[in-house]
Amino acid sequence: MPSLSKFLAENRALTEKEADWLQHLVGDWNLVSDLLRSDLVLWIQSAEGPRAVAHCRPATGSTVYYEDPVGTLLEADTDSEIPALLEGAEPLCEPATIEREGREATGLLVPVRKDGRTLGVLAAERPVSEGGRSTNEIRQHELGLRVLRMLQSGAFPIEGAPIPPRRGAPRVGDGVVELDGSGVVQWASPNALSAFHRFGIEGDMEGITLAELSTDVLQSRSPVDESLPLVLMGRAAWRSDMQARGGTLSLRAVPLTEKGQRTGAIILVRDVTELRRRERELITKDATIREVHHRVKNNLQTVAALLRMQSRRMKSDEARDALSEAMRRVSTIALVHESLLQGSEEAVHFDEVIDRCLRLAVDAASATVHRAGAPRLTESQVEVRTEKHGRVGSIRAEEATPLALVVTELATNAVEHGLSETGGTLMVRSERIGSHLVINIEDDGEGMGAAKPTGLGTNIALTLVQGQLGGTLTWQDRPEGGTRAVVDVYLDPLTL
């Protein structure tokens, strides 16, 4: 089924601004659905006729739609006001008895308007209640009707209302408080009363300013969000947290207006004490993990520096080369931990690691070469250029370390055995489809010929690819000259 964005994009009668307005409505209409305990269906005019493009079920009541109505065209012989309302007619503003999937229900149609133009029709439909409605349900229904009137006049959703991206957004089922234009509590749902009582506000709240009630229990030493007073008075469509006695309440204000004048507000409240505690634990855990990676990186860099110092003291060329290779491998592992410091998850953006592995391989490979762009130490040095094509993307930290070592070893071998005398280009070509990753490390040097690659670096790369990554490593002669090493692995799924 096409998404709302696709429906709106295909509707040429709507401007981009009007389409954004409908998207904003659908993003916040669960408030209306929960207050009215009704299913909401958004109808817009399409080339074929009125079409349902979005649907919302209430979290506080039963639904009248078992089958999703999105995409449905209004039948031509249906006795409905929707076509007339889409043309700009005034609504009857009275609920009508309808039938939905063999059951009796009541429906209310409200035009969705912006700047005096009708963009669509909102149908609010709920099953017929067999018994009487409670006071709680009646008050919520009245608040829902006030929001519908704002919707009809273009005042809802509230334009430019920034909602902080904090989890634990309160909904109608969590608790509702009704304020008048002065911020005085007119009514509070049982869930809202329970939340405020746990917070330290005792007794009946009606007839008292919510800001006054809250000020008495706020922690004097705790920082207070600067938007909290506006939320408690219902003057701004905002969200804010309030802390006291070790607990945290999340509050959201929805100002109610009539003819452009603020007449009251809806305050949604939710006890998020446990949620905020878990968030703090996650922040602490994340900081601890980052610190561990930081210390491991520093320790590995220290080891690499010690190996470098020791290699300079070696009189034997073989011992000096062995220590230099060990230093390079330790530095490669340090690169992975440094990359883990940059992200918020236990995943490595491996393309950045490849760039640094290539520089490290060329710089440490041989004294007879220098990297393109780096200073030339002697006139006899040859130049090696590096190129990278394709993308690897993010991979798990457990796979990043062996893969980085493999890329560094193969790149170093390509420089030492293929480019150290002639210079040329070292290329890494990556292709990833889902979990399947193929990395080609190529050089345009002399090529292997009949010889097969040997040595410690080759054995390390083979062991890591076959043992830890469960893949294959092969070498080929390039038709245009040079050697190609092909790493073919299947990565584990990345879960964030």
- 30 falls within a domain: yes
- 101 falls within a domain: yes
Same domain, 267 and 289: no
Three-state DSSP class for 402?
helix
Same domain, 88 and 130: yes
Same domain, 86 and 182: no
Angle, helix 456-463 to helix 397-414, in steps of 10 degrees = 150
How does residue 328 score in pLDDT terms, banded at 50, 70 and 90? low
Which of 314, 344, 374 is the last residue in one of the domains? 344
488 vs 361, higher pLDDT: 488
Same domain, 364 and 469: yes
How does residue 450 score in pLDDT terms, banded at 50, 70 and 90? low
Three-state DSSP class for 94?
coil
pLDDT at residue 466 above 90? no
Same domain, 130 and 262: no
Long-range contacts of 411-414 (CB under 8 A, 24+ apart): 411/357, 411/358, 411/361, 411/362, 411/441, 412/325, 412/328, 412/361, 412/364, 412/365, 412/457, 413/453, 413/455, 413/457, 413/458, 413/485, 414/361, 414/441, 414/442, 414/443, 414/445, 414/483, 414/485
Lowest mean pLDDT among 40-49, 333-342, 351-360: 333-342
Which strand (E) or helix (H) includes residue 180? strand 176-180
Average pLDDT over residues 405-420: 80
Where do we find the tokens 């949604």? 268
Average pLDDT over residues 455-477: 83
The per-residue pLDDT of the chain, averaged, comes to: 81
pLDDT at residue 143 above 80? yes
Three-state DSSP class for 388?
strand
- 81 falls within a domain: yes
How does residue 496 score in pLDDT terms, banded at 50, 70 and 90? very low
439 vs 10, higher pLDDT: 439
Same domain, 477 and 394: yes
- 382 falls within a domain: yes
Instruction: Indicate which CATH number applies to the domain containing 89.
Output: 3.30.450.280
261 vs 339, higher pLDDT: 261
Which of 310, 344, 378 is the last residue in one of the domains? 344
Average pLDDT over residues 95-111: 85
Do 337 and 300 meet the contact criterion of CB atoms below 8 Å apart?
yes
pLDDT at residue 399 above 80? yes
Which of 315, 344, 373 is the last residue in one of the domains? 344
Same domain, 356 and 477: yes
How does residue 263 score in pLDDT terms, banded at 50, 70 and 90? very high
Instruction: Indicate which CATH number applies to the domain containing 210.
Output: 3.30.450.20
Average pLDDT over residues 349-353: 82
Residue 284, amino acid? T
Model pLDDT, residue 495 = 55
For the stretch 26-76, pLDDT in tens is: 988 999 999 999 999 999 988 888 889 999 999 988 888 888 888 888 887
Range of the domain at 306: 274-344
pLDDT at residue 306 above 70? yes
Question: Based on the structure, what is the number of domains in the chain?
Answer: 4
- 162 falls within a domain: no
Long-range contacts of 160-168 (CB under 8 A, 24+ apart): 161/236, 161/237, 161/238, 162/238, 163/237, 163/238, 163/239, 163/252, 164/238, 164/239, 164/240, 166/239, 166/241, 166/250, 167/275, 167/279, 168/250, 168/270, 168/272, 168/275, 168/276
The count of C-alpha atoms lying within 13 angstroms of the C-alpha of 400, restricted to the half-sphere facing its C-beta, is 26
Same domain, 106 and 218: no
Ranked by mean pLDDT, the top range of 26-35, 353-362, 393-402 is 26-35
pLDDT at residue 221 above 50? yes
| DSSP code string of 239-273 | EEEEEETTEEEEEEEEEEEETTEEEEEEEEEEE-H
Instruction: Indicate which CATH number applies to the domain containing 394.
Output: 3.30.565.10
Same domain, 255 and 293: no
For the stretch 362-373, pLDDT in tens is: 776 655 666 666
Same domain, 352 and 481: yes
- 158 falls within a domain: no
Which of left, alpha, beta for 424 (phi over 0: left; psi -120 to 50: alpha)? left
Average pLDDT over residues 327-353: 68
pLDDT above 70 covers what percent of the chain? 82
Average pLDDT over residues 285-301: 67
Q: Note if the pTM is more than 0.85.
A: no
- 167 falls within a domain: no
Same domain, 354 and 495: yes
Same domain, 404 and 339: no
How distant is the alpha carbon of residue 171 from its chain centre?
21
State the Cα–Cα distance between residues 176 and 198, nearest whole angstrom. 15
- 161 falls within a domain: no
Closest CA to 262 of 230, 288, 289, 291: 230
